[in-house]
Amino acid sequence: MENKEIILMQRYELGRLLGQGTFAKVYYARNLKTGMGVAIKVIDKEKILKVGMIEQIKREISVMRLVRHPHVVELYEVMASKTKIYFVIEYAKGGELFSKVAKGKLKEDVARRYFQQLISAVDYCHSRGVYHRDLKPENLLLDENGNLKVSDFGLSALAECKRQDGLLHTTCGTPAYVAPEVINRKGYDGSKADIWSCGVVLFVLLAGYLPFHDSNLMEMYRKIGKGEFKFPNWFGPEVRRLLSKILDSNPSTRISMTKIMDNSWFRKGLDPKRRDIHSEGKEPAPLDADEVFRPNENNCSATESKQELARPCNLNAFDIISFSAGFDLSGLFEETDQKKEVRFTSDKPASTIISKLEDIAKRLRLKVKKKDGGLLKMEGSKAGRKGLLGINAEIFEIAPLFHLVEMKKSSGDTLEYQKMLKQDIRPALKDIVWTWQGEQQQQQQQEVGQQEQQVASPSNP
């Protein structure tokens, strides 16, 4: 590539590599017609098809078509070949905002300016029904004039991705920037979660370090869940009050975008006559998305879109952490002992697990209803036992032949449910269960304790 000119689609001259990830590489390029510099994200089709990321790519295209704003990286066009997908996007010459923060905290006026531009962009996204869900300095770029540009909408969600409860349910983002209700896995308001992340970004810009940080991931999540952080002594009273309202661990009382933009600290340096700092987005340019993928009206993520009946949901890293017994954070969010679920892993295909559960339900005279995303509802009463009992069984795909199944009581008597689980369900599942969660928890905790002792006494053989 050093001495050979590469012309892409007879439109762009490809230049130096700007960065790369697992599924894509980003190059600097020049538009042959206009001479304008752009960035081109080259995505390997085969790789994304193998890992089931096609819906994520569709969603990213749909989102970037919706959000044309001065402080959002613009998507100019989408092209495709047999093996590659090409996103032609705005080139942010100033690089990541993270590189500035990595050198130390920013001056208050500088940090405020970036925060104003971030809020303007995110508020505009929310007005178009788009929730970013991964806001952090690494995803905030700077143009040649030092203006902020929000990028990387790969984890974003559209308003139609909400479930019937009006909430989003996919746990995603970057741990140190994620809102407590996202970790909770009970459903969350995408705008409130983005507001929390904006608050973490502001804290980082002003402090030069994270408000919630710990080498132990579980301890960090506990701090996030309880909203435990300390202000540096150089933070003034105004910004302390604002951040306390943004980093409120209760989303129902967390400050709104409107109130942030009305805040006296926030409005410093803005035109006092202008109450709305919202910059209107440009009209979306026509894209060649239909040539990349077949038209699909639903651009939600795999865990939020309508799936074929009983197809299991995919688990991401956040889900696996939150399902792990050692990282059970339910106590942070539940006032009473509401935890009535049990989980097991299996190395059998999802169809085998479903058939087994259906056989058990039939023997127990429970009616089975299959729902979207690998959810089975079993309801009825076993002969000789009183009362109607409801049990939900949800199947999650960790790998093609490795699944996690969560079973929990949805209605009925808890003691009756526990009795049925112990006497009827668990024995019947014996031939498909790899391991039940909790049985090895004590052993794992003992092993962790031993490791901690060894770390504390390194000379101990």
- Residues classed as catalytic: 134
Q: Which residues of 214-230 are buried (b: 16+ CB within 10 A; e: fewer)?
A: eeeeeebbbbbbeeebe
The percent helix, strand, coil of the chain (3-state, each to 5) is 35, 20, 40
CB count in 10 Å sphere of residue 3? 4
Task: Assign residue 120 a region (left: φ > 0; alpha: ψ between -120 and 50; beta: otherwise).
Answer: alpha
Tell me phi and psi for residue 406, to 5 degrees. -110, 125
Rounded Cα–Cα distance for residues 407 and 356 (Å)? 14
Parallel, antiparallel, or unpaired for β 313-314 and 389-399? parallel
38 SS3 class: strand
What is the secondary structure of 237-255 as a DSSP string? HHHHHHHHHHT-S-TTTSP
Cβ atoms of 91 and 41 closer than 8 Å? no
Cβ atoms of 196 and 244 closer than 8 Å? no
Residues 6+ apart with CB under 8 A from 331: none
What is the secondary structure of 78-110 as a DSSP string? EEE-SSEEEEEEE--TTEEHHHHHTT-PPPHHH
The DSSP output letter for 153 is -
Closest of 211, 190, 198, 178 to residue 318, by C-alpha? 178
Q: Which helix (H) or strand (E) holds 41?
A: strand 37-44
Closest of 293, 33, 242 to residue 119, by C-alpha? 242
What is the secondary structure of 311-367 as a DSSP string? PPEEP-HHHHHHHSGGG--HHHH-SS----EEEEEESS-HHHHHHHHHHHHHHTTEE
162 SS3 class: coil
Rounded Cα–Cα distance for residues 158 and 162 (Å)? 8
The DSSP output letter for 14 is E
Tell me phi and psi for residue 348, to 5 degrees. -100, 155
The pair of structure tokens assigned to 311 is 């197809």
Q: Which helix (H) or strand (E) holds 112?
A: helix 108-127
